[in-house]
Structure 1
Amino acid sequence: MLSAAKGVLFDLDGTLLDTADDLGAALNHLLNVYEFPVVSSKEYRLVASDGVYPLLELGFKQQLGRFDKEVLRQEFLDYYLANIANHTQLFPGIEQLLTLIEQANIPWGIVTNKPAFLTDPLLLHFKQFKKSQSNISGDTIKERKPHPAPMLLASKEIGISAEHIWYLGDAKRDIDAGNAALMTTVAVKWGYIKQFDDCSKWQADHIISNPLELIEITK
């Protein structure tokens, strides 16, 4: 079990946590405030891990240019931070996977592009993350994914050389970062992958459809 991996790193949004509904709630709050039509879950899930501006563009469309985008961004973040875990939950199978990783005494951590002022309070809502040995956010250092530097910092913090680490993510930037760091990369299909985005072209070492498939491929 997990004998091929000496360390495991994860992306956060769309890989460990389904954060889309809280991000969507923040967007729809703004749309209500400014009297725009709200967007559906099906719509906002497609851009949930792309950052604030793509969400604002989704909601305000051509009218976004009428607004100060920095003001909107701050209003979005204020609401999101105040309601950061109202709907967010672990993806099915993640808790069991983390338990198996810990039982195998394999160190693990998180590398996300989410800024630390959002990452840190969000992680506190989930006891399952207490044993994470590295939490690298998008602003922990100057570089962020797809640059390999955050990956290499996490590698150092969990005490495992990069070539012995498996990295799981739901976006091409995750796979690019892991590949650049010479890690074994795993594209996860349960996240926020757009219909037109073919993850088979990302050059990941593996593609899995549910978290427990990792156990099978790392035997």
Structure 2
Amino acid sequence: MISAAGTMAVLFDLDGTLIDSAPDLGAAADQMRADRGLASLPMERYRPMAGAGARGMLGVAFDITPNAPDFAPLREEFFVNYEARMMRTRVFEGVAELVEALCARGLQWGVVTNKSVRFTAPLTRGMPLFATAGAIVSGDTTPYAKPHPEPLFEAARQLGVAPDRCIYVGDDERDMAAGRAAGMRTVAAAYGYMGADADLTLSKADAAIQSPMQLLQLLEAA
């Protein structure tokens, strides 16, 4: 069980933790298959890899890795497709209520994502949920991305809170590794996009939740 005593802020990963972007990410990649005359793949193939962004979606769609010579142009094509769809993304059920409850308890909150500001900025500006976020750190806000702890340190600085007074919630092993490296307590969002790394992600977390509102139970149990 996580000890939440002394918590002043809660930081969240974005995709798979606060927002369900898998349908839009999967559709962006599957459109690329359609454009090449390939058969469509079911969303169930894409969803577990949604947390890995372009790397995950292109891996499912074309069985390609980032070190392949034609990965970069495919990634940019994917980004263009995704930009045309991303404003249809919705928050997970219970997230809005969780954020409201955190604010009512006087806790600050923010976002730390590996998604680049190219996508994070319009998404967070266009969704009312993020109006009360005190920090939004994208994958290119600092010179590093998760699992490096610097993005989490940056979020803590923006909030004016010591890292060890923060909890970090995410659905990927990189989130747990980054949180622990930053000296934060970590919570695995088991309702997210853990996919094949589920066991590793859970093993590295201080606690796990099956729904967003379960985070309040951890805070209230401290």
TM-score by length of 2: 0.91
* Correspondent of 2:20 among 18, 21, 31: 18
Structure 1 residues 47-56 or 155-164, which shifts more? 47-56
**Which portions of structure 1, spanning 4 or more consecutive aligned residues, are displaced by more than 6 angstroms?**
64-67
Aligned to 2:10: 8
Aligned residue identity for 2:63: K
> Is the contact between residue 166 and residue 185 of structure 1 (CA under 8 Å) also seen in structure 2?
yes
Structure 1 residues 146-155 or 188-197, which shifts more? 188-197
> Is the contact between residue 187 and residue 199 of structure 1 (CA under 8 Å) also seen in structure 2?
no
> Is the contact between residue 111 and residue 154 of structure 1 (CA under 8 Å) also seen in structure 2?
yes
> Is the contact between residue 85 and residue 125 of structure 1 (CA under 8 Å) also seen in structure 2?
yes
Post-superposition offset of 1:4? 4.6
Aligned residue identity for 2:59: E
Which 5+ residue runs of structure 1 have no aligned equivalent? none
Kindly, what percent of the aligned residue pairs are identical? 35
Distance 2:193 2:110 in 1: 20
Distance 2:22 2:191 in 1: 12
> Structure 1 39/4 Cα, relative in aligned 2: closer, same or farther at 3 Å?
farther
> Is the contact between residue 194 and residue 201 of structure 2 (CA under 8 Å) also seen in structure 1?
no
Aligned to 1:55: 57
Q: Secondary structure at 1:152's aligned position in 2?
A: helix
> Is the contact between residue 17 and residue 170 of structure 2 (CA under 8 Å) also seen in structure 1?
yes
Aligned residue identity for 2:17: T
Aligned residue identity for 1:125: G
> Structure 1 201/192 Cα, relative in aligned 2: closer, same or farther at 3 Å?
closer
Aligned to 1:31: 33
Structure 1 residues 188-197 or 17-26, which shifts more? 188-197
Q: Secondary structure at 1:218's aligned position in 2?
A: helix
Aligned to 2:214: 213
Distance 1:199 1:190 in 2: 15
> Is the contact between residue 17 and residue 91 of structure 1 (CA under 8 Å) also seen in structure 2?
yes
Post-superposition offset of 1:72? 1.6
Post-superposition offset of 1:125? 2.3
Higher helix share: 2
> Structure 1 66/196 Cα, relative in aligned 2: closer, same or farther at 3 Å?
closer
Aligned residue identity for 2:38: F
> Is the contact between residue 4 and residue 218 of structure 1 (CA under 8 Å) also seen in structure 2?
no
> Structure 1 185/35 Cα, relative in aligned 2: closer, same or farther at 3 Å?
same
Aligned to 2:131: 130
Distance 2:5 2:143 in 1: 34
Distance 1:119 1:131 in 2: 15
Post-superposition offset of 1:52? 0.9
Number of residue pairs the alignment of both structures matches: 216
TM-score by length of 1: 0.92
> Is the contact between residue 7 and residue 160 of structure 1 (CA under 8 Å) also seen in structure 2?
yes
Aligned residue identity for 2:109: W
Q: Secondary structure at 2:51's aligned position in 1?
A: coil
Aligned residue identity for 1:85: M
Which 5+ residue runs of structure 2 have no aligned equivalent? none
Post-superposition offset of 1:54? 2.7
Q: Secondary structure at 1:140's aligned position in 2?
A: coil
Q: Secondary structure at 2:86's aligned position in 1?
A: coil
* Correspondent of 2:46 among 24, 40, 44: 44
> Structure 1 53/123 Cα, relative in aligned 2: closer, same or farther at 3 Å?
same
